[in-house]
Amino acid sequence: MGFEPLNPDFEARTRDSFARQGIMATLGATLSRVEPGLVEIVLPFRPELAQQHGFFHAGVTATIGDSAGGYAAFTLFPAEATVLTVEYKINLLAPADGERLRALATVFKPGRTLTVCDVAVHVEKEGRERPCAKLLQTLMRLDGRPDGPAAA
């Protein structure tokens, strides 16, 4: 990839922001890898995350994919900017039947305002991984906004 982050403290800032995401804590997802333009999120299976057939729910798959892409873009942003998803398209390739999901996001094209990310979600079952979803995502960089809730 060879991306240069605009913030030398990008990894700590990304991990701090991720730690403030209530949805990731609720799901039980962890940020396993953070590099310039690349983020990986893993999520162990729990019955509460399943749909009626016992597979990871598609909404859960999409949620970790969305966060992975957002944070991949975020790693390249300056310290005084935050990120919001503009849109994503998801293809569900196979049932997410397994013990763990892994979303790996890479920046496809960085931009001053819009960044495009490529996200692959794999499901692991009995030690074997297979792709279960693919996302193409566009993120917006918001300059001059704190990466957190607005002060009341």
Q: How does pLDDT run across 36-54, given as a tens digit for each residue?
A: 999 999 999 999 999 999 9
**How many C-beta neighbours within 10 Å does residue 24 have?**
19
What CATH class is the domain 10-143? Answer: alpha beta
Q: Residue 16's pLDDT is what?
A: 97
**Distance, CA of 15 to CA of 23 (rounded, Å):** 14
Residue 149 clears pLDDT 80, i.e. is over it: no
Average pLDDT, the chain: 96
What backbone phi and psi angles, to 5 degrees, belong to 71? -75, -30
Per 3-state DSSP, the chain is made up of helix, strand and coil in percentages (nearest 5) of: 25, 45, 35
What confidence score (pLDDT) does residue 146 get?
84
Query: Is the per-residue pLDDT at 151 higher than 80?
Result: no
Give me the amino acid identity at 49.
L
Tokens of 4: 């240069």
